[in-house]
Amino acid sequence: MPSYVNVAMREFRQGQVVLIAYGGADTYAYYSVMGELLKHKPSAVVLVTGVRQFGARGPRYNDLVSMIPEDLVLASLRLPWHGRGMTLPEVLLYRALRWQTVEDAFLRVEGRREGLREAWLPRWRGGDSTGEAGFYGGYAALVRSYDMPFDRAAPAARMLEATVRMAVGRGVRVEVVVPPIPYQLLEDEGRYGPRTRARIADVGEMVGSAGGRFHDLHDFLQRSDFRDAGAHYTADGMRRMASWAEGIMDRYVPRREGPNGR
């Protein structure tokens, strides 16, 4: 099933909307690639950041730091990279991946280490580690990941703020979206309530103070719109999200011309 963004993009002129997405993309990744993205002078940038990202820890796609533009390197060193397990020397090392020789050596070492990890981790854990519940360590851990404490001072939230300020400072409008979560299921498990709404609202205020627009969609969909606890949508849920996304795109790009000249 295509993502709701892909479905929404079908209504707009080809090349006017560009989707950059992959599993595990978070606010650290957004900050790392934003400088290069802004060189293409977009009219607007939409950042989708889930509730679970704000409480996440550990390394993930740290090599994207290599994409930080030279004029932002010093400023970037003041950001909370420790939230992804990086020291400042490591940030500079990842930045050096811009050079082919360094990248080749790094990828050889990382490839071997990752290969060993993938070979032994499922066996060590007593089963297959594939799938979202497997990644989080089981269903209970997956549900718990929605309820990790965070606020605007959380490392991932600060990275989001820095990303928004970077784009707004270059004259680019920024829309930040917190996508739907299966809040009814989480409520059944005692993992959702006023504290969740307050955490999201705090991040929303931070985004507004940085010059961005905040869209809190965490309770936008119903229980029947989700396929699982990992917040994957059913066909109906995907259609509802695509319709919402079209509204955002309508602000910035023209639609395709239909039979009636639309």
How much is the pLDDT for 120?
52
**Residue-averaged pLDDT of the chain:** 83
Write out the chain in H/E/C secondary structure.
CCCHHHHHHCCECCCCCCCCCCCCCCHHHHHHHHHHHHCCCCCEEEEECCHHHHCCCCCCCHHHHHHCCHHHHHHHCCCCHHHHCCCHHHHHHHHHHHCHHHHHHHHHHHHHHHHHHHHHHHHHHCCCCCCHHHHHCCHHHHHHHHHCCCCCCCHHHHHHHHHHHHHHHCCCEEEEEECCCCHHHHHHCCCCCHHHHHHHHHHHHHHHHCCCEEEECCCCCCHHHECCCCCCECHHHHHHHHHHHHHHHHCCCCECCCCCCC
How much is the pLDDT for 96?
83
How much is the pLDDT for 2?
60
Mean pLDDT in residue range 10-38: 81
How much is the pLDDT for 260?
42
* pLDDT band at 177; cut points 50, 70, 90: very high
How much is the pLDDT for 47?
95
Q: Would you call 142 exposed, middle or buried from its count of C-beta atoms within 10 A (0-12, 13-18, 19+)?
A: buried
* Residue 242, pLDDT above cutoff 90: yes
pTM for the full model? 0.81
| CA-CA-CA-CA torsion sign (89, 91, 93, 99) | negative
Mean pLDDT in residue range 199-216: 97
* Residue 158, pLDDT above cutoff 50: yes
Give 121 or 226, the one with higher predicted confidence.
226
How much is the pLDDT for 199?
95
Q: Which of 12-16, 36-40, 195-199, 208-212 has the lowest mean pLDDT?
A: 12-16
pLDDT tens-digit readout, 62-113 = 778 888 988 999 999 999 998 888 889 888 888 887 777 766 666 665 655 5
Question: Among residues of the chain, what percentage have pLDDT more than 70?
Answer: 77
* Residue 207, pLDDT above cutoff 60: yes
Question: Among residues of the chain, what percentage have pLDDT more than 90?
Answer: 49
Q: Which of 223-227, 228-232, 255-259 has the lowest mean pLDDT?
A: 255-259
